Every structure is written in structure tokens, then in C-alpha cells.
A and B are shown apart, each in its own frame.
Chain A
Amino acid sequence: MTNTFVQLSLTPILIGVLACCACALPGNFLVLRRQSLIGDAISHVALPGIVVAFLLTGTLAAGPMLIGAAGAAIVAVGLIELIRRLGNIEPGAAMGVVFTTLFAAGVLLLEQSDTSKVHLDVEHALYGNLESLIWLRGTSWAALTDPVALAALPPQLGRLALVLLAMVAFTVVFWKELVIGTFDAGFAASIGARPGPTGFGLVVMVAVAAVAAFDAVGSIIVIAMFICPPASARMMTDRIGPQIGWSLGFATLAAVLGYVLAGYGPLWLGGRNSVSAAGMIATVSGVVLGLAALWGPRRRGAHRLAA
């Protein structure tokens, strides 16, 4: 007998959890640096990079896509600096102009090029296709030990596992530089902790997470996961280590609960069809953020209330 949970739900849930954690981890530093919108912006910038990479290579393989998106992010950062310095425009405005222009350019490029044979369109870019990342060979739990079945796992699973591993490695290796540079960039520069390159590395890692997650789950989840779990986690604790732990917990909770609610929620309410898993996961993370803002022990003002 076929185990439909393993076949249809296990891999989408795992991929959702990996994608959410890969974004939430660097998101902690973005939120603390008050640069939350960089995650949003990069997921916009990624589009022209991915389209150009596709036009050059003709495939949607992960490597060229990541390089294309990272290249686009670097171009965007350069353009922002250029506009900010030459035009003497405040950074927020410079970012807004560059990111929307590049995203629009990506859309135009996508329309003009022949991508009909591959799964690359604006809708996919927004919602992803989490529900379709099923494991047809995974007919029962026993398949987890069957090499033939394991080889048929959706490639996104391994890719996102690698990306999450890279995020963890980056965070551990550059922990002190990230923390000091985020809290006090001037002091970090004075002790040689290189806040500039560290900040740039963080943005590159955010781009990698955005592209890898975007391919699997679409930009809605990406944007929500950079911001919601870390922001919720900040209201649970007053130290950055535990904050990161909470954020990964919240990201996992949102991925699992969101997927289950999207699949079964409408049935429980008497509806017939399931709803978008990406949309529901982002919604759950938003609700968690709302709950943390109302009852989190370390929300702003909680100290004064307790005193």
C-alpha cells in the first residue's frame, strides 16, 4: 500500500523547512542592521540575473542561476552606490529605484525570450511550486533507505540542504565579525573586524538563500522568511544566540503548519480545494509575528511593564 504522506507531503514539507531556515538565519542580521528590505530587494534583483543566466546557458541548473543572481545583486549594489554618490540621493531611494528597475528589466527580458519550454515565468517567481515537489518513488517510509528511490528525490531538497549548511557555516565562521559589525560598525572597523567585507558577504549569502529558496518556494516565502521569524524571535529573548535559535524554530513552525493548513485547512472549513502553500506559510509567519508582538516576553516596553 502506498503511503501518500511520504509520497506527496514529506518532501514539500522538508523543502519548505529548509528554505525557511536558510532565509531566516541570515535574516536575523538583516533585521538587526535595519536592512530587512534588502532581502525583499534581492529577491527582485534575482529575476534579471536568473533570466540572463538562462539566456546564456539555456538551462535552469542551479549553478548558473545562482551565479546570475549573485552577479545581478553585485551590479545592483554597485548601481546603488553610484546613484547615492553621484546623485547625492538618500540610500533608501537609491535602493528603491535600482531594485524596481532591475525587476522590471527582468520581466521585459522574460517576455521577450523563449522560456516556454522551461518552468520560468513571473507567476512561478512569485508563488514557487512547493506542492509539485513530490517524491513519486517514495511510496513508503522504507523508501528512505532505498538508494533507487532516494535518487529520485526532488533536486531542490539536496540543493537547499547544502545552502542551509552554507548559511550555518558562514554564520559560525564569521560570528564575531557579524555580531560586532552589526552592533557597532565604527568600532568593528577600528579593531580590524572588517565590517565592510562582512556586510558584503552577508548580502551575498542573502542572495544565495533568496535564489535557492526562490526556485523552490517563490519570492513570497523568501521575503516573509527573511523578516518574520527573526523579528518574532527578537521579542522572545535578549541575546543574539538564542534569538537565532528561536528564529529557526519559528521558521520550521511556519513551514510545517503553513503546509498542513494550506492542504487541509480548507477541507476542515468545508471547502473543497487546498490553497497556496507558499501563501499560507507566509501568512502563518506573519501571525506568529503578531502574537510575539502582543505577548513576547522581550517585546519593546515589556521591561517597563514588568518593572
Chain B
Amino acid sequence: MKPMPELVAQDGRTLAADHPESPLAIAGMTVSYGDKPVLFSVDFVTPPGAMLAVIGPNGAGKSTLIKAALGIVPRVSGKVTVFGAPWRDARHRIAYVPQRASVDWDFPATVLDVVLMGQYREIGFLRFAGARHRSRAMECLERVGMQGFAHRQIGQLSGGQQQRVFLARALAQQADLYVMDEPFAGVDAATERAIIAVLKDLNAQGKTIICVHHDLATVQDYFSHVLILNLRKIADGPVSATFTPENLQSAYGGRLAVAQIDRIAVG
């Protein structure tokens, strides 16, 4: 049996030992870009089966948190476990969806080509996608209502359609944890409904969903748990207990009017 990675929180608890089933547990994670620190010593345990929103003002380090946790940007310090195992041994259980604006949609690929990227691991080294992989990719496109666009070049899609293609690629990964960076940014209302329906469906099947989210008005409708960040962890827990005016006030400060907070927050 592999030794459990050490994951010790600031208060001395051993997170991995406490939460071997947590899809994503982070202890003492600090990240900086150059000399500029962007996240200080974050401890966080994702509850299994959660539908979690990561919220906070612009520049709070929301995207950085998930990128550092998934090994996409380097960490200064901190430990991460995925389902109780080191990230490297469990990353096939994670489907990561980057911000739509982070890629060049002029890239010469069709919708189907992009969804097939989700099956990278299954296709395997020195092999190319076969009929079986293509038919799975088509099923994933059907689940997001994009089967009619399989052979379109990706640059010819609307923003909402591009986001659905990214979701289809994540579905093709058949993961247990879905980590999405602003999946609702700049999409049309129909796409937002389609994406949330797919995510709720996945969540009902026991999958854990983590979304960086910026629309505070929909947090209570869409999510079960919330992690509030502003360079540090402000609060985390079930939406009903955590999405409170006090926590939002301490995360957003003067950037949200009191009246706004009262309208969206719990209680």
C-alpha cells in the first residue's frame, strides 16, 4: 500500500488522513506570480459530491487556486491530494475546463477534434483516435446539444457553443471531479441553462463539481457549497451557512453595496 501523502493544515490536522475520500484537498497552498503573491496559505477540503462555487472579487486568486491545485501553475508551498492520492496518480479522475478565452479558437481543428482531446489518456501513446473514440465523442456532443456541429471549425461557433464544446470534452474524460473556470462567462442564456442542466445531472450521479463563478445572483440556485476567497480563504461550507452578508462583506469589501449583498446573500 502506498504511504498516504502528508497534508497538514495550519491548525495541525492531517487533512489527507481526515478526508481520504475528498475529491480535492488543499493544505497550506501559497502561489505567487514573480514577486507578486496571489494566494496565501489556503487550506480547503472539497466535500465529496459537492456542487461547489469558488467566488471572490476580481484578482482574488480564484483561477490561480484551481490551476495551482491541478499542477498547471507552480506552487510556492502547499500539498494537494486528489481522492486521497497525490495529484499525479489521480489526475485521470479530474476533468479540467479552462476559461474559454484562454485558447485561440482560430486553431485549425473541428469540434470533434477538440472533444477527442478529452480521450487523450484512453487513446494512448503512439495511437490515434478510432471509430470507438469518435462515437463516444459524438455522444458527449449530443449531451450538450452540439452533435450537429461536429465537423465545424471551432472558430465559427458562438461563445456559448464554444463553452459547450469544452464541456463535451470534459464529459469525454469520464472523470469523477469536474473543475471548471468560469463556465458561464460570456455565454447566452440558453447555453447557461444547458450547462447547468448537465452539471446538475453529473452531480446527481455522484460526481463532484467545482466552478469558479462570478455571478453572485445565481450562487444559491446552482450550488450546494461555496468557497469564498480574497487572496486568503475567507470562508467555506454549505451555501446556506456560508453565503452570508458578513462573509461577502469581508471578501468584497466596498466593491459590493450593502443593498446588493442583502439581496443576494442568505439570511
Contacts and interface: CB of A to CB of B under 8 A. Distances in A.
Interface in B89-145: 91-92, 94, 96-98, 102-104, 106-110, 113-114, 117, 120-121, 123, 126, 128
A190 B69 CA distance: 10
A234 interface: yes
A231 to B, nearest CB: 12
Contacts of A238: 108-110, 153
Nearest to B103: A184
A183 B98 CA distance: 12
A234 B128 contact: no
Interface residues of A, number: 28
A165 to B, nearest CB: 17
A167 to B, nearest CB: 17
A220 B72 CA distance: 37
B30 interface: no
B260 interface: no
B113 A190 contact: no
B72 A186 contact: yes
B12 interface: no
B108 A243 contact: yes
Nearest to A193: B120
Nearest to B124: A176
Nearest to B152: A238
Contacts of B104: 32, 34, 183
B121 A191 contact: yes
A176 B72 CA distance: 18
B91 A192 contact: yes
A64 B203 CA distance: 58
B10 interface: no
A88 interface: yes
B173 interface: yes
Given A85-B34, A175-B128, A191 B120 contact: yes
Interface string B9-28: 00000000000000000000
Most buried by A among B88, B102, B120, B128: B120
Range of interface residues on B (Cβ < 8 Å): 20 to 34
Given A190-B71, A192-B121, A240 B102 contact: no
Contacts of B35: 88
Interface string B156-200: 100000000000010001000000000000000000000000000
A248 to B, nearest CB: 15
A183 B91 contact: no
B108 A240 contact: yes
A186 B102 contact: yes
A279 B117 CA distance: 41
A189 B34 contact: no
Given A173-B126, A191-B173, A240-B108, A186 B67 contact: yes
Contacts of B71: 189-190
B42 interface: no
A35 to B, nearest CB: 12
A182 B120 contact: no
A88 B102 CA distance: 22
B120 A190 contact: no
Contacts of A303: 153, 155-156
A239 interface: yes
A243 B109 CA distance: 10
Nearest to B114: A183
Contact of B96 (A183, A187, A300): A187
B135 to A, nearest CB: 19
B178 to A, nearest CB: 11
A279 B110 CA distance: 37
Given A239-B113, A240-B109, A186 B98 contact: yes
A180 interface: yes
Contacts of B65: none
5 contacts: A88-B34, A88-B35, A176-B123, A179-B113, A240-B113
Given A180-B117, A192-B88, 11 more contacts: A32-B108, A187-B97, A187-B117, A187-B169, A189-B72, A190-B91, A192-B121, A238-B153, A239-B109, A239-B110, A240-B107
Interface of B: 34-35, 67, 70-72, 88, 91-92, 94, 96-98, 102-104, 106-110, 113-114, 117, 120-121, 123, 126, 128, 153, 155-156, 169, 173
Listed from nearest, the 7 A-B pairs whose CB atoms lie closest are: A190-B96, A238-B153, A186-B98, A189-B72, A240-B108, A184-B103, A183-B107
